[in-house]
Each structure stands twice: as structure tokens, then as C-alpha cells.
Amino acid sequence: MAIETNEKLERLLTDLIERFQRMGFKANWTKAKNVHLTLFFLGDQKMEKLAQLAYKVGERVSGFPTFHFNIHKMGFFENNSQPKVLWLGIEEDHTLIGLYEEIKKVLKFSELEVKDTNFLPHITVGRVKSFPNHWKELINSVTFDQIQVYVNSIGIYSSELTRRGPIYKKLYTVDFEGGVIING
């Protein structure tokens, strides 16, 4: 389950990837057309279960207010003092967290396992394979103008991992005001 973003963010992502490549970072970079804000990973599910889930989520978020969140900083996850994932940080937003919590309730009632971790909303830029010395200073030096992403729906996607990266297909759109849309 994810939130789609916009063209402004796609352009920023393309620009940031070019900057990081010039700095010497090598990574499995997110393709601009694949950029999204993941809310939940659902794992392998039968299509019938996903259809039921889409309609249950649709009932739960019906009338949820359209809102926006702000992308405002560069960040990273590290392991053993090495960068693993570069990401764009999202300014704390109570409406986004409220949406996440509402969907989490539906998932629990639907008996889908949900990891109960702290929700750290972010947009993945790339999964790092190699990096230059002083990588932390380089990442922290990257700045950009804040971007707003408007949200009025949630997407339920399938993903297929390939050598060229994941291929996402939107199965359902859960619109806050229009119910569930089946995407062929």
C-alpha cells in the first residue's frame, strides 16, 4: 500500500540521483516513475484478499480529508557505519500518521500481519552498493526546496522484482471521496 507522489518529486529524485552519482555513490536507484511513499508491505496475498482489503480500507477512509505532506530533507539508514539506503524525509504530519493508523487497524482486523514498528515516512532514493569517503558529510550537504505532495487516495500495488528493478502495477485506488477504483 502506498501513496503516489507527483512530477515535481520525480524531477527532484532524478536530480538527486545525478548529484549522488557525481559524488561517487553507486546504488540501485529508484526510477522516477516508481517513486511513492510506502505505507505497508502486504507480502504475498491472493487477489481475492486484496480486493476485500481494498473495499475495507475504502470504508475506513471514506471522507478522510485531502491533505498534503512536505518533503524537506535528505536522510539515510546505515548499518555498521555504512550507508544502506538514501531517502527523502517527510516533515512530521499528523494527518499522514492518522491515515497510517486507520489503515493499520483495517489490516489487523483483516488478520494480515503488520509489523508494529515506528512509522518513519520516507521516499527511497536508492539502496547503496558503494560510496565515497566522507559519505556522511556529502549526504548532509545535499539540500533542496521543500516539495508538497497532495494526497486524496491510496494505491494497492503488486510488485514483481526483476533484474532491472521492481515493476509496480496499481491494482486498486482507494479514493477518499470516490470509493474503490479497480485498475485493470
89 located within any domain: yes
54 located within any domain: no
> Domain range holding 32?
2-42+65-152
Catalytic annotation present for 36: yes
- Which residue of the set 36, 72, 94, 134 is catalytic? 36
What is the Cα–Cα distance from 29 to 19, expressed in whole angstroms?
A: 12
Over its length of 184 residues, how does the chain's per-residue pLDDT go in tens digits? 999 999 999 999 999 999 999 999 999 999 998 899 999 988 888 888 889 999 999 999 999 999 999 999 999 999 999 999 999 999 999 999 999 999 999 998 887 766 666 788 999 999 999 999 999 999 999 999 999 999 999 999 988 777 776 778 889 999 999 788 888 6
pTM comes to 0.89
What is the Cα–Cα distance from 126 to 176, expressed in whole angstroms?
A: 30
Q: Burial of 168 by CB count in 10 Å (0-12 exposed, 13-18 middle, 19+ buried)?
A: middle
164 located within any domain: no
CATH of the domain at 97: 3.90.1140.10
Q: Burial of 174 by CB count in 10 Å (0-12 exposed, 13-18 middle, 19+ buried)?
A: buried
Decide: 154 and 103 in contact? Cβ < 8 Å. Answer: yes
- Which residue of the set 72, 94, 122, 134 is catalytic? 122
118 located within any domain: yes
Decide: 77 and 117 in contact? Cβ < 8 Å. Answer: no
87 located within any domain: yes
SS in 3 state form for 59-79? HHHCCCCCEEEEEEEEEEEEE
Q: How many domains is the chain partitioned into structurally? A: 1
95 located within any domain: yes
Catalytic annotation present for 94: no
